[in-house]
Amino acid sequence: METILKVEGLKTYYFTSTGVVKAVDGVNFTMQRGESLGIAGESGCGKSTLAYSLMNLVPPPGKIVDGSIILDGMDIAKMDEDSLRNEVRWKKVAMVFQGAMNALTPVYKIGKQLAEPLVIHGNISEDEAIEKAKEILPKVGLDPNIINRYPHELSGGMKQRVMIAMALIMNPDIVIADEPTTALDVIVQAQILNLLKKLKWEMGINLILISHDLSIMAEVVDRLIIMYAGKIVEIGNSEDVFGKPNHPYTQGLLNSIPKLGTHELNYIPGLPPDLRNPPKGCRFADRCPYVMDICRREEPPMFEVGNGHYSYCWLNR
Amino acid sequence: MGSVVDVTEGMFFPDEKNVMVVRDLSKYFPVRRGLSDVILRRPARFVRAVDHIDLDIPEGKILSLVGESGCGKTTTGMTLIRLYDPTSGSIFFEPKEETLDKLKREVGNLDIYNGYIDIAKLPAKYVKFLRTDMQIIFQDPYSSLNPTYRIYDILEEPLKVHGIGESEDERRDMVLKALEEVKLVPAEDIAARFPHMLSGGQRQRVAIARALLLNPKFIVADEPIAMIDVSLRAEILLSLMELRDKHKITILFITHDLTIANNISDYIAVMYLGKIVEIGTPDEIVNNPLHPYTKALIKAIPIPDPSMRNKLKDIWIKGEVPSAVNIPSGCRFHPRCMDYEFHPEIQERCRNEEPKLIEVEKGHYAACWLY
């Protein structure tokens, strides 16, 4: 297997007026070519910040303060803005942003918006770029003639398809989809997930899917990272994480998913910690049903709990 | 009284007593007309958000109204408690005794049918008297609480408005008790905070406490967990179930998520483009869906099991939701219906006649020409 992305010791902090928010605080993982990777966690766990970090596109007052993101021999974390624009964004790593409804500008036609990354990054004329845009639209299940339409003429699902087409247009190595279906209805969501799968099989895109919804993850990703309060708590192949969850947070999260056919309702008591001042030991300790003394004292290291399956929990000591 | 129908007799749940009986209810919103529309004398157009629906809401139960965005489920909820004025139809509601007495005193000629009144016909200035009987919990707890008020003031306000509680002390006790009721403890501490100092889940529980304070019979909960984290959703759902079990409050639970509806409700009604297309118990709806739209919804639910990820999901529906301004003829679902393709014998009917909700199996209703 070929490693296409290697993230080591990544720290991304937000320097706010009320303190430093450690949104991503020491994250390590690798991604292999051909696999879809999921990053799951609840709001505020740092998953979107991690996604933005992978393009070195963290909005101020956020900043990557430490660590490396190695892609194709380049360290994205340390590149300057010009080389990021010229070499990385859209060409190597592209992103389908959250909230397709608002990500398109209402005043330009779809064709012009789709062509824009090509004109800026690809050094070709707008007419040529629009021709290329027409070629990519059928791949995402859209009629090429919609290049002459405005965003308000499209449904939410169609707009999301346009956003996916835009991410694909420079033929990137990695496509990051940040909550690509949150604002969509369940049927449209199923259609978009089908599309992502097809793109993976037919075009060989390497997908990173960010979502709070583990059911969606199960439908798409091969390998899954669970984040909690700025840290990875568990990482493994989907079968293992869903079948043999090791970390108590993963177990609680899986239990919290309402299922058809059962009438059980479970939740994880308590709240995540304040990331301006995270607790010393394990960040999940306050909500953990199995908490021990050491959990509050020392941060848990990574334990290998299965083949390629890792968990950051002292229970595995 | 000249009433010919016994309105307390429901249509759908023979074993239940209904707190609300809705008949032929519609809510249309006018579409803004441009200058050219006026010059060319084009007729006024309407968004038919709720289009002649019948529904019974059984007392002390949770009824879920399920549908996709734009299907009219929120408009239905808002109209049922008169936050919108209905365009036509009736909403028979049985108020609390003291509310009924108050209404009798205030309203000149109030028609009372067996203890029920038609709140759809109640003049707007008397609607405030219903607020002690019916309340709403909104979707977004970040915008439904006034950021400049402390939690205590947010909760005390409805008591003041409705003249409940003799003294400040009595109201204080009621507020603290309501906070404890939704497990926001220590209540004293929470009451002194501002909304921004609480998490989304805590705010939503403040909203529940606020709805609870006037001791209503009926609460509309409009997607109350849509903005809450997955690990905390069940906490809110369990609070709602406790309102039903402990206080016998009737809840209309509005959601787009059939899985959640299946988990908490006693009955489910599925809505599509302004119409109710299927009514039944959660088990019936999920295990034996009758309407092709319900089938499509269930097939689309993501399953937390990675073993199926190498297959495409079967999507049992065509196209996209049409606009509620131009509703298709006949059965409004027929242009998207997969069963339509396979049943040429009923196609003409589907295109031309609107199906009615009929009892297909015992206690299970569907509006579809297949049956």
pLDDT reported for residue B7? 67
Q: Which two tokens stand for residue B364?
A: 């299970």
Interface touch B300/A189, C-beta < 8 Å = yes
pLDDT reported for residue A101? 67
Give chain A as a 3 state SS string. Answer: CCEEEEEEEEEEEEEECCEEEEEEEEEEEEEECCCCEEEECCCCCCHHHHHHHHCCCCCCCEEEEEEEEEECCEEHHHCCHHHHHHHHECCCEEEECCCHHHHCCCCCCHHHHHHHHHHHHHCCCHHHHHHHHHHHHHHHCCCHHHHHCCHHHCCHHHHHHHHHHHHHCCCCCEEEEECCCCCCCHHHHHHHHHHHHHHHHHHCCEEEEEECCHHHHHHHCCEEEEEECCEEEEEEEHHHHHHCCCCHHHHHHHHHCCCCCCCCCCCCCCCCCCCCCCCCCCCCHHHCCCCCHHHHHCCCCCEEEECCEEECCHHHC
pLDDT above 60 for B1: no
Mean pLDDT on A132-160: 89
| pLDDT, chain B, mean | 91
Interface touch A265/B287, C-beta < 8 Å = no
Q: State pLDDT tens for residues B172-207.
A: 999 999 999 888 988 999 999 999 999 888 999 999
Most confident of A272-276, B86-90, B319-323: B86-90
pLDDT reported for residue B5? 57
DSSP-derived secondary structure letter, B251: E
The minimal CB distance from B312 to the residues A197, A261, A266 is found for A197
* Owning domain of residue B318: 289-366
DSSP-derived secondary structure letter, B354: P
Size of interface A-B (CB pairs under 8 A): 128
Number of folded domains that form chain B: 1
Mean pLDDT on B1-9: 59
Interface touch B315/A190, C-beta < 8 Å = yes
pLDDT reported for residue B93? 95
Q: How far apart are the first and last CA of chain B?
A: 38
Q: Which residue of B has its CA nearest to A187?
A: B300
pLDDT above 80 for A152: yes
Alpha carbon B216 to its chain centroid, in Å, reads 15
Q: If contacts are CB pairs under 8 Å, which of residues 191-220 in chain B contact chain A?
A: 199-201
Q: Which two tokens stand for residue B266?
A: 């006693």
Residue at token pair 């999901």: B313
Distance CA A191, CA A135 (A): 21
pLDDT reported for residue A44? 85
Largest CA distance in chain B: 70
pLDDT reported for residue B3? 46
Above 0.95 for ipTM, yes or no?
Answer: no
Tell me if B214 sits within 8 A of B160, measured CB to CB: no
Interface touch B308/A219, C-beta < 8 Å = yes
pLDDT above 70 for B171: yes
A3-78+213-316: CATH superfamily: P-loop containing nucleotide triphosphate hydrolases (3.40.50.300)
Q: State pLDDT tens for residues B232-256.
A: 889 899 989 998 999 899 999 999 9
pLDDT above 90 for A122: no
* Ramachandran class of A19: left when φ > 0, alpha when ψ lies in -120 to 50, beta otherwise: left
Share of chain A above pLDDT 90, in %: 61
Is residue B56 a part of any domain in this protein?
A: no
Interface touch B287/A261, C-beta < 8 Å = yes
Where do the domains of chain A lie? 3-78+213-316
Is residue B322 a part of any domain in this protein?
A: yes
Q: State pLDDT tens for residues B285-343.
A: 999 999 999 999 999 999 889 998 888 988 889 888 888 888 999 999 999 999 998 99
DSSP-derived secondary structure letter, B356: P
Residues on chain A touching B299 (C-beta within 8 angstroms): 190
B233 part of contact set with chain A, CB < 8 Å: yes
Which residues contact residue A65 at a Cβ distance below 8 angstroms, ignoring those fewer than 6 apart?
A: A11, A12, A13
pLDDT reported for residue B4? 53
A218 part of contact set with chain B, CB < 8 Å: yes
Q: Which residue of A has its CA nearest to B301?
A: A186
A206 part of contact set with chain B, CB < 8 Å: no
List the single range of A94-103, B137-146, B179-188 with lowest mean pLDDT.
A94-103
Nearest-5° Cα angle at A182, A115 to B258: 140
Q: Of B249, B220, B279, which is closest to residue B84 (Cα–Cα)? A: B220
pLDDT above 90 for B110: no
Determine which of A233, A250, A260 to mutate to test the interface with B (most B C-beta atoms within 10 Å): A260
